[in-house]
């Protein structure tokens, strides 16, 4: 999908989220849903499969997001899928998250970690990453079992790899 279309979808989602008064909740719910779809090949294939009726793809989205998400978040995700744009879901949601964060004068820091971080840890991490990149950041945390320990943070094109695996590789090179 072209950048213009991704932007158009993202801006439309932002407008709806603002009108509903739940920008941060919708942002978080769509971000988590997009990451779940991105991380599950079978789910992604089912949502992309245009041979499945739109009602069935909508039902999959509703079942996954269901009671855990706002009705608006579920409807927005389902609309993207029903429109045949499931393959662009991550790009659309990522752009929406960027636009929402920019509205709060912040950059998005996508953080992958093996464990859940509490609010205090997230606040300290956001401050540390912000100092490292010289920007105000807000975290989007992804629990990733492939990260054995530590974190990987991405802010725009900047990647900060503080994982145990990366540190061991550095030690291996030094030895």
Whichever domain contains 65, its CATH number is 1.10.520.20
Q: What are 15-19's contacts with CB under 8 Å, separation 24+?
A: 16/72, 16/76, 17/72, 17/76, 17/96, 17/100
* CB-CB neighbours of 56 under 10 Å: 12
Query: Is the Cβ–Cβ distance between 154 and 135 less than 8 Å?
Result: no
How many Å apart are CA 94 and CA 36, to the nearest integer? 13
Same domain, 84 and 7: yes
pLDDT beyond 90 at 167? no
**How far apart (Å, rounded) are the C-alpha atoms in residues 156 and 133?**
10
Mean pLDDT of all residues belonging to the chain: 88
Same domain, 26 and 94: yes
pLDDT of residue 73: 93
The pLDDT of residue 1: 61
Q: What is the pTM of this model?
A: 0.80
Angle at 141 between CA 78 and CA 117, to 5 degrees: 130
Residue that is last in its domain, among 83, 100, 117: 100
Lowest mean pLDDT among 7-11, 53-57, 61-65: 53-57
Instruction: Supply the pLDDT for residue 84.
Output: 85
The pLDDT of residue 51 is: 85
Average pLDDT over residues 42-67: 86
In this structure, the answer to whether residues 65 and 111 fall within a common structural domain is no
81 and 112, same domain (yes or no): no
Give me 90's structure tokens.
């991550």
- Boundary residue ending a domain (63, 84, 100): 100
Report d(CA 161, CA 138) in Å as an integer: 17
Tally of structural domains, the chain = 2
Residue 111 sits in the same domain as residue 94: no
Write out pLDDT tens, residues 69-119: 899 999 999 999 988 888 999 999 999 999 999 888 888 898 988 888 898
6-10, 54-58, 114-118: range with highest mean pLDDT: 6-10
Per-residue pLDDT reduced to its tens digit, 129-157: 989 888 899 898 888 888 888 888 888 88
Pairing of strands 137-143, 151-155: unpaired
Which domain-ending residue is among 59, 77, 100? Answer: 100
Find which of 2-6, 14-18, 122-126 is predicted with most confidence, using mean pLDDT. Answer: 14-18
The range of the structural domain enclosing residue 130 comes to 106-174
Are residues 34 and 8 part of one domain?
yes
- CB contact at 8 A, 46 and 52: yes
Cα–Cα distance, 9 to 171 (Å, whole number): 45
At residue 161, the pLDDT reads: 83
pLDDT at res. 94:
93
Residue for token pair 């509490």 = 118
**φ and ψ at residue 51, rounded to 5 degrees:** -75, -20
110 and 92 fall within a common domain: no
């Amino acid at each position: 999908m072209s950048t213009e279309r991704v932007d158009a979808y993202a801006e439309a989602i932002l407008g709806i989220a603002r009108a509903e008064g739940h920008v941060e909740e919708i942002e978080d719910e769509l971000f988590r849903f997009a990451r779940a779809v991105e991380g599950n090949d079978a789910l992604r294939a089912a949502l992309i499969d245009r041979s499945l009726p739109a009602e069935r793809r909508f039902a999959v989205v509703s079942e996954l997001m269901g009671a855990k998400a706002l009705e608006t978040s579920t409807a927005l995700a389902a609309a993207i899928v029903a429109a045949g744009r499931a393959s662009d879901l991550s790009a659309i949601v990522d752009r929406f998250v960027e636009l929402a964060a920019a509205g709060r004068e912040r950059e998005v820091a996508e953080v992958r970690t093996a464990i859940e971080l509490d609010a205090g840890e997230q606040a300290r991490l956001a401050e540390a990453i912000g100092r490292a990149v010289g920007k105000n950041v807000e975290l989007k945390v992804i629990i990733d079992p492939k990260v054995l320990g530590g974190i990987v943070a991405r802010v725009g094109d900047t990647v900060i790899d503080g994982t145990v695996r990366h540190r061991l590789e550095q030690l291996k090179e030094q030895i």
